[in-house]
Structure 1
Amino acid sequence: MKWRPKTLAGQFLVLMVGSVMLAQVLMLATFMVETDGKIDQYERTYVLGRIAAVYKSSTYMSHEEREQLFENVSNPDIVFGLGLQSRGVPLEQSDEEVLRGLREFLDAPIQIASQPVSLWDIIRFWYQDEEENCFLLLTESLRSSDCPYWEAFVKYDDGSWLSAVGPPSPEAPVLLAPVIFSVFLTIIGITIVVALVTRRLTAPLRELSNSADLVGRGEDIDPLPETGPRELSSVMTAFNTMQERTHRFIQDRTTMLAAISHDLRTPITSLRLRAEFIENEKLQGQVIETLDDMQTMVESFLTFAKQDISEEKLQEFDLVAMLNAIAAETKGMAFTSSVETCLYLGRKVSIRRAISNLVGNAIKYGHEARVRLELDEKRVCITIEDSGDGVPEDRFEEIFTPFTRLDQARSVTEGSVGLGLSIARSIVRKHGGDLIPSNLERGFRISAILPL
């Protein structure tokens, strides 16, 4: 569902507020039905029945007797009067719901005049004083231009009209206005409280998510505060422990590799010195070449291992300017960009190394490197294309494996030990991105995706 919130706080808020709203709506619906029924019963018994009774009682009376009767039976609920003409419209043309049932009681010409209830009348019903309230059944308010009313005219056989004037009975929404207002305030209050509580409860989760993303990018972060509910504090504790162990493991591994590299340099240097005393020049050259290969492999391996604990700080730099600089220094590289500038927050030296590795690999195996930068709202895409023979799709993952070279005929002396793409992917992934390989009709493409 597209409308469903994606955050835990949003889903919890919708669940709580939705549950309360459903309960309140059901309660209001029940009250509406009950109140409407009671109002209908009141109107039928005390309004329609009373008008019919007064009309039937006065049918055979004289003019004076009718006026005396009307004066005696009138009250603030209904005021009766006698007139020579009607000011209303036929009952069938009237919209006054209260008096429609009068036809069931009387078989005589009936006309209706009325002024309906407005929103302002509802407000006055609850908040105005008695002297100003149209619904408090004051006789002076009937047929006032400021108050709602209804007036029924029933014609006698002698041509005169019985006039019955009264205030409209409040509708169910009028009577239930305080309840509806209370429900509205309740929903607002619950929404505010639940929003604050869920935001406070999920704050550690947001911090955990951000910290996990930073750790995944190779950043060193401070331990998370182990606060909040027991379940969340346990997660924070486990994350801090994991981060400490991972950092210690990487430090120990790199220290060990540095020590091995240092220890290997000494015998390699010693062997190189001894090789200088070999009289056979051919043998001497072979030994020195082998020692150079060993030196290259040791240095390359140490460089790859150090990617895991790179201490380079994040900084903002222009990717377009960097790629232009690399193109100026690299023969066989052509660079184009869809934007003039592209500011990016990352490790500048590492990103430059990764791009240089990818470009160098394209030139070495594909004779050229066509580089293009494209930018959208969420990511930067740098594509490097060459004109080589491409890579079998089932070996795409293999090219990123350390010390793997698809062309086994190439030697270490050519400057490749199979770590260029491995180092490049390691750097890009530490920035939250990835390298996507694909084949062209003629050539090979690697797309470096860097999220903004």
Structure 2
Amino acid sequence: MKRFLPQSLPSWILLILIAGLITTQIATLSIVSRDRNEGNNILELFRLSERAYTLVKLLYAAPPPERTRLAGAMTNASSPLYMADEPAVTSAIASDDNLAELEDVLVARFSAFGVTDARVRRESPNVTRETDTDSSAPGADVGIVEKQLSALAQDFSKSGGLVASIEFSDGQWLNFVTPVSPIDPILTVQTLPLFGAVAAIVIILSIWAMRRLTAPYRALENAVKRIGEDVKIPPLPEFGSTEYRSAARAVNAMQAQLREYVADREQLAAALAHDLRTPLTRIRLRLELLRKSQLRQSLMQDLNDIEAISRSVIDFATYEVVDEEQEKIDFWSLVDSIVDNYPQVTFEKKGIGSRKLICTGRPIALRRCVTNLIDNAVAYGERADVSLNLAGNDIVLVIKDHGPGIPQAKLDEVFQPFRRVEGSRNRQTGGFGLGLTIARNIARRSGGDIKLENDPEGGLRAELTIPLAS
């Protein structure tokens, strides 16, 4: 069920807005329809009362034969009217409270005209009465008003009516029918497109407003991602809604703290480079004064290890803070120039031309990234095969070595600083566990990534992905 629900806040807000709009429309149409029915019912009762008043006032003073003649002269097919000795409404009990109250009103109002009883009932809409209009369809030369009058007459003949029977004091009954005005449905073929157009406009405007409202937050998300790639990007502009300004201030404060942290690490690395260089040089000079012995050789080896460790730590601490401008790079040529320095590496040069493999990045950093990957493959796999290809909008560099590989559960561990996988790599031939860490950080700062996996044919497969230049 959850997979069919929105996964983002703007989608949820839009869904709630559309659901509220639909609910409001349905409720509004229901209320309007009910009010129309109630209003039309009262109006029809009023029309019947007024017509009854006119007829009773006209007929009450006339003798019975004259009443019959007058009623026959005033009747028509849509509104029958006649005098009789029996009422057309046979039941003395009204079908609802409104009609019962109307009957009491009619008797009280017409008592001065000799009226002693009044009965009213509703005629079913299924009862079809004849009309005075021609039942044939209007001709092509008929005007709009005549067409509308003809259609309205047909509607009146099918809409039912109110049947009234009013008794005079002499025992005669005035029977007549008042047609009920037809009520057109709210949703028709003509009105449905209008409602749909209004709803579509509201939804489109809501989507536009939602995108405008959430645009700063998308910019905030992109800015946070860029901070992970380059902590020196300009701070976020603090404008817009109160919530966005608060979030932007928090992100800018975090970025400032990260800058201070990076600056402190850069200063620490520079201090280490300066302070270690002098004592190491003195130790090396003093060792040169010693006679050649096994102890001297061991100390020289230890000294070389200390210098290598210090260089690795300094490199790891300073690789991010090197101030290098972004530029377009021919990645094929970059890889080709690096592979030329490794006789044990084979570069697959067939297929994609170098002109298609242009990326944007820091040249020195990317060179270091590729070099670290090839160094890792050569150090632990002795030989390596390198190939380049395109995958959508990404350049993919594949480096496959011929070593023992890495256990599947530990593939991610080798990217952690100073982490070496025992048993799968020879500790005596490798560095200090920083090469892959630096390589992946450089790749991610360039918008790409590095993925390791064991090749089914043996060896480790490293895949570097770098976006093409736009």
TM-score by length of 1: 0.66
Give the 5 Å matches for 1:413-432. Answer: 416-432=431-447
Match for residue 358 of structure 2?
A: 343
Match for residue 14 of structure 2?
A: 13
* One-letter amino acid of the counterpart of residue 16, structure 2: L
Q: Structure 1 residue 205: deviation in Å? A: 1.4
Unaligned ranges ≥5, structure 2: 48-69, 80-123, 158-178
Match for residue 51 of structure 1?
A: none
Q: Structure 1 residue 212: deviation in Å? A: 0.6
Q: Is 1:366–2:381 an aligned residue pair?
A: yes
Match for residue 23 of structure 1?
A: 24
Q: Structure 1 residue 213: deviation in Å? A: 0.8
Structure 1 174/276 Cα, relative in aligned 2: closer, same or farther at 3 Å?
closer
For the 8 Å contact 2:448–2:464, the answer to whether it is kept is yes
Q: Structure 1 residue 270: deviation in Å? A: 2.0
Structure 1 235/307 Cα, relative in aligned 2: closer, same or farther at 3 Å?
same
- Which one of the candidate residues 126, 133, 138 is aligned to 1:101? 126
Q: Structure 1 residue 431: deviation in Å? A: 3.4
Structure 2 counterpart SS, 1:309: coil
Match for residue 444 of structure 1?
A: 460
- How many residue pairs end up in the alignment? 374
Q: 357-366 or 288-297: which moved more? A: 288-297
Q: Structure 1 residue 216: deviation in Å? A: 0.8
**CA separation in 2, counterparts of 1:288 and 1:235?**
55
For the 8 Å contact 1:24–1:183, the answer to whether it is kept is no
For the 8 Å contact 2:231–2:259, the answer to whether it is kept is no
Match for residue 287 of structure 2?
A: 275
Q: Structure 1 residue 2: deviation in Å? A: 7.0
**CA separation in 2, counterparts of 1:74 and 1:423?**
100
Structure 2 counterpart SS, 1:101: coil
* One-letter amino acid of the counterpart of residue 260, structure 1: L
For the 8 Å contact 1:375–1:381, the answer to whether it is kept is yes
Q: Is 1:250–2:259 an aligned residue pair?
A: no
Structure 2 counterpart SS, 1:317: strand
Structure 1 114/100 Cα, relative in aligned 2: closer, same or farther at 3 Å?
farther
Structure 1 386/19 Cα, relative in aligned 2: closer, same or farther at 3 Å?
same
Q: Structure 1 residue 148: deviation in Å? A: 8.3
1:72-131 residue CA offsets vs partner (Å, 9 max, x unmatched): 6569x89xxxxxxxxxxxxxxxxxxxx98246x79xxxx964579xxxxxxxxxxxxxx9
For the 8 Å contact 1:36–1:172, the answer to whether it is kept is no
Q: Structure 1 residue 450: deviation in Å? A: 4.2
Give the 5 Å matches for 1:149-164. Answer: 150=154
* One-letter amino acid of the counterpart of residue 247, structure 1: R
**CA separation in 2, counterparts of 1:409 and 1:415?**
7
* One-letter amino acid of the counterpart of residue 19, structure 2: G
Unaligned ranges ≥5, structure 1: 47-67, 79-98, 117-130, 153-165
**CA separation in 2, counterparts of 1:404 and 1:27?**
67
Structure 1 212/336 Cα, relative in aligned 2: closer, same or farther at 3 Å?
farther
For the 8 Å contact 1:363–1:386, the answer to whether it is kept is yes
- Which one of the candidate residues 249, 256, 261 is aligned to 1:237? 249
**CA separation in 1, counterparts of 2:306 and 2:216?**
49
Structure 1 counterpart SS, 2:217: helix
Q: Structure 1 residue 263: deviation in Å? A: 0.9
**CA separation in 2, counterparts of 1:34 and 1:337?**
80
Q: Is 1:218–2:230 an aligned residue pair?
A: yes
Structure 1 counterpart SS, 2:387: strand
Q: Structure 1 residue 196: deviation in Å? A: 5.4
Percent of pairs identical after alignment? 27
What root-mean-square deviation, in Å, do the aligned CA atoms of Structure 1 and Structure 2 show? Answer: 4.8
Give the 5 Å matches for 1:280-319. Answer: 280=292, 283-319=295-331
For the 8 Å contact 1:20–1:187, the answer to whether it is kept is no
Q: Is 1:385–2:400 an aligned residue pair?
A: yes
1:309-365 residue CA offsets vs partner (Å, 9 max, x unmatched): 243233333433433333344322333677442333333322222122112211222
Q: Structure 1 residue 40: deviation in Å? A: 11
Structure 1 445/74 Cα, relative in aligned 2: closer, same or farther at 3 Å?
same
For the 8 Å contact 2:360–2:446, the answer to whether it is kept is no
Give the 5 Å matches for 1:392-411. Answer: 392-405=407-420, 406=422, 410-411=427-428
Q: Structure 1 residue 9: deviation in Å? A: 3.3
TM-score by length of 2: 0.63
For the 8 Å contact 1:323–1:335, the answer to whether it is kept is no
Q: Structure 1 residue 279: deviation in Å? A: 3.1
Q: Structure 1 residue 280: deviation in Å? A: 2.5
For the 8 Å contact 2:415–2:436, the answer to whether it is kept is yes
